[in-house]
Copies of this chain bind each other. A is one copy, B any other.
Amino acid sequence: MFPYSRRFLSSCLNARSTRSIRELLQIKEVPVSPIEVKGWIKSFRALKKVSFIDLYDGTTNETLKVVIPITACPEVQGKPSLKTGQSVVIKNAHWKWTPNREQSFELSCSRDDVEILGEVGGDFPLQKKYVSLKQLRKWPLWKHRTTYLASLLRFRSYIETELTKILSNESFFKVQPPILTGSDCEGGGELFYVESNDSRITPGASKMKYFGQDTYLTVSTQLHLEVLALAMRNVWTLSPCFRAEKSDTNRHLSEFWMLEAEMCFVDDVRVLTQFVEDIIKNLVRSLLLQQNQLLPQLVPEEGADATEEVIKQWNSLINDKWTTITYTEAIELLVQRHSGEPFNHIPRWGNALQAEHEKWLSGTKFGGPVFVIDYPKDCKAFYMKVNSDNKTVACFDLLVPDMGEVVGGSVREDDYRRLIAEMEARKMNIQELYWYTELRKHGSVPHSGFGLGMERLVSWLYGNHNIRDAVPFHRAARSTIHL
């Protein structure tokens, strides 16, 4: 049951702010009154007898074409000229069906009906000519006024909204584990330290820690999620995570969003991978239904997959059963290929898979997503459940073409003694994670979980090759925070 009165809400905003271009382009019946529309000029062309405005307002990939017949605007003299980047309101536009044209109706108005809301300076960087993604990244204030990058953000919005619905439907509760934490979940050590600015700049105050102890930004919310799963069965979160990465690549961010989920009574990594596959396939089914709204017709010349390629990939994602191989099988395949065509890093059982290995597996070898399961325990974090071979852990990485690992997860060790023994073997500071081990003392249950990198998922599915474009204002090593 969906209790919201759509009309009631929309009418409130629209009463003052007018219909969006997305709504206008979907109109099925001739509107009874003259049209008012607001937006930004994408391009303006003045011919001898007629002028054309291409208008966008960020609600859709498409522009609205508005015609100004010259005969209708003798008063154009003395008016400021229309140009790319201006924001305008067009009042009293007239509507005419044009069923044989690309835009199924014609909107026309006089120049007098076009009021400039915001002027544009001569230094406005977005003009009609083509600009590369690399160049756009230098213009964070303006880059989202391009079709491709605005469309990418709308795509991400759609994905987050759909995943919210899917997980809610699966009886997962959305929870809010803390960002500020005292522990390093993964043990990777690439932490950001946090202190109140007052304590930092006030002389003598620096010994008074705001929280009374060293505090960091979370690298993963998993450990706290486990506490909540053991109270609510199935939980998930969509949360920023932070890693002071030294890697400066198109697949790394210092600040990124992770969708993490934790579920009780799941003790088999193949149930976990099946669940992840189901969720993503359901998401992609929904994307396919909306593909015309979601994908732009034109993509940049570099660093972006063509739209028809993207749709082809979506179709193959939902139609094929995804590959699952063990780490041991993966190493065998890699060694075989290495003997013919060497990698830079020698594949060897016991070592982590390198980016080139991951790309070959999901690219050349299988040409699609691959679950690699049962990694050697020394390659992975302390909290993963050890398999009966006592050498590998019940975990998975989901590798996808180009992007590498998009999801990682595992069955968690739920036995207090085995967990402590593993931490001791790794010479970890047990006291620091006292609370985490304590959770195994009262009513512990088998449980599993995973973390999905949102920027990587979005980029993989949208077909953009640099995850820095999948977040509005990226934060990465050595990149100054311009804004």
Contact = CB atoms under 8 A, between A and B. Distances in A.
A413 interface: no
Interface stretch (A260-268, A366-374, A423-431): A260-268
A309 to B, nearest CB: 22
A97 interface: no
Contacts of A150: 231-232
Contacts of A234: 13, 20, 59
Interface in A124-138: 124
B443 A264 contact: no
Contacts of A59: 171, 232-234
A10 B157 CA distance: 25
A260 B120 CA distance: 28
Contacts of A161: 164-165, 168, 174
B121 A165 contact: no
A274 interface: yes
A442 interface: yes
Interface in A209-234: 210-213, 215-217, 224, 227-228, 230-234
A311 interface: no
A105 interface: no
A257 B178 CA distance: 10
A363 to B, nearest CB: 28
| Most chain B C-beta atoms within 10 Å of own C-beta, residue among A124, A274, A278, A440 | A278
Interface string A1-45: 111111011101101111010110000000000000010100000
B255 A178 contact: yes
Contact of A58 (B157, B232, B444): B232
A244 interface: yes
Interface stretch (A63-71, A190-198, A298-306): A190-198
A160 interface: yes
A170 interface: yes
B16 A268 contact: yes
A169 interface: yes
A216 to B, nearest CB: 7
A308 B230 CA distance: 29
A481 B182 contact: yes
A153 B171 contact: no
Contacts of A388: none
B86 A210 contact: no
Contacts of A275: 9, 12-13
A117 B415 CA distance: 10
Given A176-B257, A213-B480, A443-B87, A9 B278 contact: yes
Given A13-B170, A227-B483, A483-B227, A1 B121 contact: no
Range of interface residues on chain A?
35 or more
A196 B150 CA distance: 31
B182 A153 contact: no
B227 A141 contact: yes
A150 B22 CA distance: 41
A471 B224 CA distance: 12
Interface stretch (A279-287, A328-336, A353-361): A279-287
Interface in A39-96: 40, 57-59, 85-87, 89
Contacts of A2: 165
A323 B102 CA distance: 48
A161 B235 CA distance: 13
Nearest to A444: B118
Interface string A169-190: 1110111111111110000011
Contacts of A271: 12-13, 15-17
Contact of A117 (B445, B472, B481): B445
A471 B175 CA distance: 8
Contact of A233 (B20, B178, B232, B444): B20
B1 A472 contact: no
Contacts of A13: 170, 234, 263, 266, 271, 275
A156 interface: yes
Given A145-B230, A190-B198, A193-B196, 15 more contacts: A4-B165, A4-B169, A8-B282, A13-B263, A58-B233, A117-B443, A117-B446, A124-B441, A141-B438, A141-B439, A157-B173, A161-B174, A178-B472, A198-B244, A210-B244
